[in-house]
Amino acid sequence: MSIDQKTVKYISKLARISINEKKAKNLAKDLTNIFKFIEKLNKLDTKNIEPLTSIAETKLHLREDNIKDGNIRDQILKNSPEKNKEYFVVPKVIE
Amino acid sequence: MSEIIKLTLNELVAGIKKKKFSSHEVTKDFVNRCIKSKKLNSFITDNFDNALKISKKFEIKSNQNKQLPGIPFAVKDLFCTKGIKTTAGSKILNNFIPTYESTVTQNIWNEGAILLGKLNCDEFAMGSSNETSFFGNVENPVGKKLVPGGSSGGSASALAANLTPATIGTDTGGSIRQPASFTGTVGLKPTYGRCSRWGIVAFASSLDQAGPMTKTVEDCALLLQAISGYDPNDSTSIDIRVDNFSSNLTEKVKGLTIGIPKEYRVENMPVEIDKLWKKGMDFLKDAGVIIKDISLPHTKYALPAYYIVAPAEASSNLARYDGVKYGHRSEGKNLIEMYENTRSEGFGDEVKRRILIGTYVLSSGYYDAYYLKAQKVRQLIKQDFDNSFNSVDAILTPSTPNSSFKMGEKKGDPVSMYLNDIFTVPVNLAGLPAISVPSGYDKKKLPLGLQLIGKPFDEQTILNLSLALQKRINFKRNVNNWWK
């Protein structure tokens, strides 16, 4: 299978990564090679095989629903690129 | 007494406990060594001043029972450290200061160790040569312009250059074992669930596992002990007893059976690696081990399956980097454009490639053809190992299909870079423990490792076998300080 520039543009839109034409061209080449490699799997018949969905054979533990931390609003806000008092700021969403 | 920086972790612990030297003296020596070794670019963030301050106040009297008392200790910059910048080697986390500490690093500090700094790594642990880090390439102390392997390349480089007495890395497809092999050090990936993943910047959640990187097998046992254990904050960590790996460590491995999988004898494998593998078998035979040929028939499908599972999980995990709550932000006319520009400028090429692969295989209409198919292949790979472990106690293979290579050599060709992990990836897919032990040199005088793969939660057996190997191989690390 080959992945063309149009597909790269489409999936980069889904992934919310802006990509220019030149990058899209290179990525189309890289991804085509990678998918050629991945598609070796098509040679393998997996019709009656159960998918392995979890490697950890664990039973989930229950615990009391207690608050163990908190009151760190200022510390958390400190990491944000743009803030206004106790809010994160993003570009205008509603006109 | 030999130089402090050259001592093993166990020797340093014993020395501090017996007051041969103080934590402060040890820390001072490592800090000085680190400062003189900046050319290696092993560190992203240093904590030298703090470490010196803490070590000065460190009292051995009240800490005699700790496993790592007053030991200066650098960690991969994928572990969140409270109040100290944590970047995952990415521009997008360039200014991120965690408000919490990862469980594994907290376990290490609880045992008395002191944070020396945060070590360079491939961006979001995606890479096999440490060339994808936003903070630049890392040099392999073994030789100039050679890659230290990846993704825990800074960890391996710092350890091999005696900048930290031991370290921890993370391993999603070989990121501990491959750099260990490239630098002549010991690296162990524990069973999936043995250590908590809480506070580790996530790459592929069903594969990621933290593990020790050390100079010797004895150090590896000690450090594994310190980081293991169930954690209520990680529901995939397993509530199982952690044995005392150090006191149970023995080179008496007589009567154990080791499997040699024929599928690991890949095309174009250098003769030296094949020779080294045979040498490993001979040494184990000498220790009384029985060698048995086995077959892991689905081995060749492991890497293609990995390049579906890992990118798919990565694309989901990395969706959180949107420039809103933390990390890098680029401007945009509206919210969507801000996201797109942030992620375009914040992520490097390899990370983008993998996010796009993952997005594609999970996109509408393709799930069955890729992700579901890969999970079925994963089942077959796990069954291969399960079947083998009915008749063998562990499996011996080479750690890597080649030794360290020159920077830039494989950079333009993602698939050839991915092939580096051909021997390490199956273990992650099956959730098994595996260790790389330095075992010799190739004709370019570059180190090579052998890998021992164990049954789930049977790290002890592979540690014991590694000790038997270590004693017979008598590997000498070759650090000539070329960077000074």
**Does residue B175 carry a catalytic annotation?**
yes
Say which of A35, A49, A80 has its CB closest to residue B376. Answer: A49
In our burial notation (b when 16+ CB lie closer than 10 A, e otherwise), range B141-173 reads: bbeeebbbbbbbbbbbbbbbbbbbbbbbbbbbb
If you average pLDDT over residues B248-252, what whole number do you get?
Answer: 97
SS3 content of chain A, % helix, strand, coil (to 5): 40, 5, 55
Cα distance between residue B238 and residue B172, in whole Å:
18
* DSSP type of residue B81: B
Q: C-alpha dihedral over B43, B48, B50, B55, to 10 degrees?
A: 120
Decide if A56 and B193 are in contact by the 8 Å CB cutoff.
Answer: yes
Chain B partners of A2 at a C-beta cutoff of 8 Å?
A: none
Task: Pull the structure tokens for residue B1.
Answer: 């007494």
pLDDT for position B138:
98
Spatial CA neighbour of B96 closest among B107, B111, B83, B109: B83
**Does residue B18 carry a catalytic annotation?**
no
- Amino acid identity of residue B391, one-letter, is S
pLDDT for position B279:
97
Decide if A49 and B379 are in contact by the 8 Å CB cutoff.
Answer: yes
A60 to chain B, any CB pair closer than 8 A? The answer is yes
Chain B partners of A50 at a C-beta cutoff of 8 Å?
A: 376, 379
Residue B425 Cα, gap to closest chain A Cα (Å): 14
CB under 8 Å to B85, separation ≥6 — which residues? B44, B45, B95, B96, B97, B118
A70 to chain B, any CB pair closer than 8 A? The answer is no
Spatial CA neighbour of B124 closest among B263, B388, B318: B318
Q: Which residue of A has its CA nearest to B83?
A: A75
pLDDT averaged over every residue in chain B: 96
pLDDT for position B484:
85
Q: Residue A42 half-sphere exposure, CB side, CA atoms within 13 Å? A: 7
Helices and strands counted in chain A (H then E): 3, 2
Q: Is the pLDDT of residue A2 over 60?
A: yes
Say which of B301, B339, B418 has its CB closest to residue A44. Answer: B301
Chain B partners of A7 at a C-beta cutoff of 8 Å?
A: 360
Residue A56 zone, left/alpha/beta (φ > 0; ψ -120 to 50; rest): beta
Say which of B97, B301, B414 has its CB closest to residue A41. Answer: B301
Kindly list the strands in the beta sheet with B43-46, ordered across the sheet, starting from the edge strand earlier in the chain: B43-46, B114-119, B72-76
Structural domains in chain B, CATH included, are: 2-257+454-473 (3.90.1300.10)
Is the distance from CB of B289 to CB of B465 less than 8 angstroms? yes
Binned at pLDDT 50, 70 and 90, residue B2 comes out as: low
Enumerate the β-bridge partners of residue B448: B440
Cα distance between residue B162 and residue B31, in whole Å:
11
- Which residues of B145-250 form beta strands (DSSP E)? 167-170, 186-189, 210-214
Decide if A52 and B375 are in contact by the 8 Å CB cutoff.
Answer: yes
Cα distance between residue A20 and residue A26, in whole Å:
10
Residue A92 Cα, gap to closest chain B Cα (Å): 6
Flag the least confident range among A47-61, B54-68, B72-86, B205-219.
A47-61
Decide if B334 and A18 are in contact by the 8 Å CB cutoff.
Answer: no
Determine which of A13, A55, A80 to mutate to test the interface with B (most B C-beta atoms within 10 Å): A55
Task: Pull the structure tokens for residue B135.
Answer: 């903070």
| B259 Cα distance to chain centroid | 24
Q: Is the pLDDT of residue B106 over 50?
A: yes
pLDDT for position B343:
98
Q: Is the pLDDT of residue B1 over 70?
A: no
If you average pLDDT over residues B273-298, what whole number do you get?
Answer: 97
CA angle B378, B384, B390 (to 5 degrees): 140
Q: Is the pLDDT of residue A83 over 80?
A: yes
Tens of pLDDT, residues B126-183: 999 999 999 999 999 999 999 999 999 999 999 999 999 999 999 999 999 999 999 9
Q: How many angstroms separate the first and last alpha carbons of chain A?
A: 43
The Cα-based distances of B437 to B209, B217, B288, B396, B440 in angstroms read 18, 8, 19, 11, 9
If you average pLDDT over residues A44-71, what whole number do you get?
Answer: 87
Chain B partners of A39 at a C-beta cutoff of 8 Å?
A: 304
Task: Pull the structure tokens for residue B412.
Answer: 């333009």
Residue A79 Cα, gap to closest chain B Cα (Å): 5
More confident residue, A64 or B276: B276
Secondary element (H or E) of residue B44: strand B43-46
**Does residue B151 carry a catalytic annotation?**
yes
Judging by beta carbons within 10 Å of its beta carbon (0-12, 13-18, 19+), is residue B183 exposed, middle or buried? buried
More confident residue, B61 or B248: B248
Chain B partners of A90 at a C-beta cutoff of 8 Å?
A: 324, 335, 338
pLDDT for position B411:
81
* DSSP type of residue B264: G
Chain B partners of A91 at a C-beta cutoff of 8 Å?
A: 332-335, 337-338
A78 to chain B, any CB pair closer than 8 A? The answer is yes
- Amino acid identity of residue B231, one-letter, is D
Tens of pLDDT, residues B345-403: 999 999 999 999 999 999 989 999 999 999 999 999 999 999 999 999 999 999 999 99
Is pTM beyond 0.90 here? yes
Is the distance from CB of A46 to CB of B304 less than 8 angstroms? no
Per DSSP, helices labelled H in A15-72 are 21-38
Judging by beta carbons within 10 Å of its beta carbon (0-12, 13-18, 19+), is residue B399 exposed, middle or buried? buried
Tens of pLDDT, residues B178-223: 999 999 999 999 999 999 999 999 999 999 999 999 999 999 999 9
- Amino acid identity of residue B19, one-letter, is K
Cα distance between residue B158 and residue B149, in whole Å:
12
Cα distance between residue B463 and residue B246, in whole Å:
9
Q: C-alpha dihedral over B145, B146, B148, B150, to 10 degrees?
A: 100
If you average pLDDT over residues B326-346, what whole number do you get?
Answer: 97
Decide if B301 and A19 are in contact by the 8 Å CB cutoff.
Answer: no
